[in-house]
Amino acid sequence: MRRNFVILLLLCLFVTLLSACSKNETSKLADNSDNASNKENVELTISAAASLQDVLNKLATQYENEHPNISITYNFGGSGALQQQISNGAPVDLFFSAAEDKFDLLVEEGFIEKNKGTDLVGNELVLVVGKDQAQNIRAFEDLPKIKKMAIGTPETVPAGKYAVETLERSNLLKEVEQQIVYAKDVRQVLTYVETGNVDAGIVYKTDAMISSKVKIAAVAKYNTHSPIIYPVGIIKGTSHKKEAEKFYNYLQKEESLKTFEKFGFHKVKK
């Protein structure tokens, strides 16, 4: 009888311990679930050159899949216009420019710290014409033959500045300046060529690659324009410093750089 009582007592103790462990594990799972559900959702705003549109949309999709609490919103446009917006207080977390001078202005003004920016990728400048273009345009020297050509507005669109440099150094600017139609960014230049509103346009190689309606007639020589470098940096006043730094570092990863290369960009020597 006494033996049965001891066995019963031990069974009660075992059941009590098992119940306590079960409650503890359930509590831990609930805590982890609460932590996951309470993880703050953050929206990152990135001002980026229009020529980066396709590759950055691709990278954003990949990044958001890996970081469900992060959503990325892009403000695409001419680098000069974007730089002016940031200088005037636009709420932005990162700036991705198509020109070093626009980026450097923000560094000088204190909007970007030097150690929070890097030259990430490079590009090429090309002359494009419509795929069904009847005129025989095979080189920049053929531009005086055409009626209209488009470039980005040089003051705010780096591709437009590079285009003017190329035309000047090729001794063509005076001959063609009356034919030039100015656009707000390179994507608008591309659209003008695609729709036949102009006979030719000067854009980046990466822009030409995404269109099935244009073809590259010529590639500008490297010595005819300033180096085409794309710097990216974190805005000092960002309200999402930790998340901005993580995405900034993500852009520099080898996997991300390979994605840039697939879209026609190339790595830059540092």
Whether 234 contacts 112, CB under 8 Å: yes
Residues 113 and 241 both lie in one domain = yes
211 is in an annotated binding site: no
Res. 133 pLDDT band, cuts 50 70 90: confident
Beta-carbon-side half-sphere exposure of residue 85 (alpha carbons within 13 Å): 21
Q: What three-state secondary structure class fits 270? A: coil
The pair of structure tokens assigned to 35 is 């932590």
Closest CA to 198 of 177, 219, 186, 181: 181
Instruction: Evaluate whether residue 147 is within a structural domain.
Output: yes
Instruction: Evaluate whether residue 247 is within a structural domain.
Output: yes
The pair of structure tokens assigned to 212 is 């099935």
Residues 99 and 132 both lie in one domain = no
Residues 220 and 234 both lie in one domain = no
- Over residues 154-179, the pLDDT tens digits come to 999 999 999 999 999 999 999 999 99
Instruction: Evaluate whether residue 67 is within a structural domain.
Output: yes
Res. 134 pLDDT band, cuts 50 70 90: low
CATH number at 108 reads: 3.40.190.10
- Over residues 208-239, the pLDDT tens digits come to 999 999 999 999 999 999 999 999 999 999 99
For the residues 62-71, what does the mean pLDDT come to?
96
Residues 134 and 118 both lie in one domain = no
Residues 114 and 248 both lie in one domain = yes
Instruction: Evaluate whether residue 17 is within a structural domain.
Output: no
Residues 129 and 245 both lie in one domain = no
79 is in an annotated binding site: yes
The pair of structure tokens assigned to 165 is 């440099």
Instruction: Evaluate whether residue 139 is within a structural domain.
Output: yes
How many domains does the chain fold into?
Answer: 2
186 is in an annotated binding site: yes
Per-residue pLDDT at 93: 98
Instruction: Evaluate whether residue 2 is within a structural domain.
Output: no
Is the pLDDT reported for residue 205 higher than 90?
yes
Res. 132 pLDDT band, cuts 50 70 90: confident
Is the pLDDT reported for residue 56 higher than 50?
yes
Is the pLDDT reported for residue 4 higher than 70?
no
Beta-carbon contacts of residue 210 (< 8 Å; ≥ 6 apart):
54, 263
Residues 109 and 135 both lie in one domain = no
- Percent of the residues in the chain that have a pLDDT greater than 70, as a whole number: 85
Residues 236 and 111 both lie in one domain = yes
170 is in an annotated binding site: no
212 is in an annotated binding site: no
Mean pLDDT value across the chain: 88
Is the pLDDT reported for residue 24 higher than 70?
no
| 42-49 vs 112-122, strand pairing mode | unpaired
How far CA 48 is from CA of 86, 88, 97, 148, 239, in Å, comes to 11, 16, 6, 28, 18
Residues 201 and 139 both lie in one domain = yes
Q: Which burial class, exposed, middle or buried, applies to 178 when counting CB atoms under 10 A from its CB (0-12, 13-18, 19+)?
A: exposed
The pair of structure tokens assigned to 56 is 């950055």
Beta-carbon contacts of residue 51 (< 8 Å; ≥ 6 apart):
98, 123, 159, 185, 186, 187, 203, 204, 206, 207
Is the pLDDT reported for residue 86 higher than 90?
yes
The pair of structure tokens assigned to 113 is 């710290």
Q: How far apart are CA 45 and CA 123, in angstroms?
A: 24
Residues 145 and 187 both lie in one domain = yes
Beta-carbon contacts of residue 211 (< 8 Å; ≥ 6 apart):
128, 190, 194
Which residue range forms the structural domain that includes residue 85?
42-122+229-267
Instruction: Evaluate whether residue 18 is within a structural domain.
Output: no
DSSP string, 227-243: --EEEEEEETT-S-HHH
Beta-carbon contacts of residue 87 (< 8 Å; ≥ 6 apart):
105, 106, 109, 111
Q: What three-state secondary structure class fits 80? A: helix
Residues 245 and 112 both lie in one domain = yes
Instruction: Evaluate whether residue 13 is within a structural domain.
Output: no
